[in-house]
Amino acid sequence: MAGTCGTMSRVHTLPVQAASATYNVLLDDGLLADLPQHLRAIFGHQPRRYFVVTSPEIWALWSDAFLSGFASDAEPPILLLPAGEQHKRLAALERLAQQLAAAGADRSSVLIAFGGGVIGDMTGFLAAIYMRGIDFIQVPTTLLAQVDSSVGGKTGLNLATGKNLIGSFHHPRLVLADTAVLSTLPLAELRAGLFESLKAGLIYDSELFTYIEQHAEALLRQETEPLTCVIAKSVHIKADVVSQDEREAGLRMILNFGHTVGHAIESLTHYRGPLHGEAVGWGMRVAVEASRMRGLPDAEADRILAAIDALGLPQLPRLTARRLLNAAAGDKKRIGGVRHFVLLERIGQAKVVNDLTDEELLHAIQRGLRLSRTAAGK
């Protein structure tokens, strides 16, 4: 991909062109107040009812900014969903759907997802199935949602047996990413998003990886220019991959780098342990060790591990390698009973393999998560 994050001009409009949908990602500071005018640009002046799905925490922080562009007599109803992956379940989805129906939402209604990845995934899935499909808008408030989950049309929720096992592809009509909302982001949430951006560089763009590697301290301080560059570059990568493979039949599978073991960590901790991006950070360490076994040069593997660690991984919950291996066996990336695992050939170049053995993965888990030999047992 041409250009580096350090030399690219600041991009405010990033197009996403998938097979079934075309829309823009708008990226800038202070966009919330402009939301109503963007809604009019998409939907015109036809009577439509807008419903906001958000969390109590986000609404308490940003409701004034969100509503500032709406006329006082046109403020949309608010549907609240508690924060956290543990609420990304069917029962919560049904409650939201019931609230929509009770409020008279119809086929012309539009949902606005105002929150992080959980809010975005749940709202997108609700939009996909309510009255067999209505429009929705993504207004992501976490770095991870801005760089990854709000783009590409994946929606879904969790089952007790695994993450995102129920869902659909349903693209938003617009993604509005206001970088101002990141100012209230806890450091853990910031790091979670940076791990996803680091992943994007590792699998697709070595220049982005190098930029994050060299600017880790500035990014963790939330310096505006490097953070905006990384968001824009990450979105561009995601959009480019989705444009080539919307339904994850081939290339898009590389976006799952680090996710097999990351999802296993989330599942075993009942989504109350590391944040999704943090779990992916640990999962990437495992994937790097597996890649090393399959030919990734030691120098590159060590460089990647150092870059992951520099962003600040949280303490890993007390888990055994064998339990993680068993949990990874239930990941939805198995096709026809075969595990598909994303490895790196070089920084910026990924591949999907279907012959990674349990023994190899167990060894990679042990090395990547720094588990002792005794901890690798049952």
Rounded Cα–Cα distance for residues 235 and 237 (Å):
5
- Burial class from Cβ neighbours inside 10 Å (0-12, 13-18, 19+) for residue 243 reads middle
Q: Report the distance separating Cα 243 and Cα 266, nearest Å.
A: 29
248 included as an active-site residue: yes
Q: Do 220 and 134 meet the contact criterion of CB atoms below 8 Å apart?
A: no
Distance between CA atoms of residues 359 and 361, nearest Å: 6
Which pair of tokens denotes residue 74?
Answer: 């046109």
259 is known as an active-site residue: yes
Q: Exactly one of 132, 318, 373, 378 is catalytic; which is it?
A: 132
Among residues 171, 215, 233, 276, the one annotated as catalytic is 276
238 catalytic per annotation? yes
Per the annotation, the verdict on 87 as an active-site residue is no
Catalytic residue among 87, 163, 170, 263: 263
State yes or no: is 276 an active-site residue: yes
Catalytic residue among 85, 189, 196, 289: 196
Selecting among 87, 215, 233, 252, the annotated active-site residue is 252
Contact 85, 266 (CB under 8 A): yes
* Euclidean distance between CA atoms 130 and 98, whole angstroms: 10
> What are the structure tokens assigned to 204, written together?
């697709």
Amino acid in the structure at residue 273: G
Active-site annotation holder among 154, 170, 191, 285:
154
Q: Is 88 a catalytic residue?
A: no
Catalytic-labelled residue, pool 238, 285, 292, 339: 238
Count how many residues are written for the chain.
378
Query: Residues 173, 215, 259, 285: which is the catalytic one?
Result: 259
Q: How far apart are CA 94 and CA 81, in angstroms?
A: 11
- Which of the following is catalytic: 38, 49, 89, 248? 248
> Hey, which residues are catalytic here?
132, 154, 196, 238, 248, 252, 256, 259, 263, 276
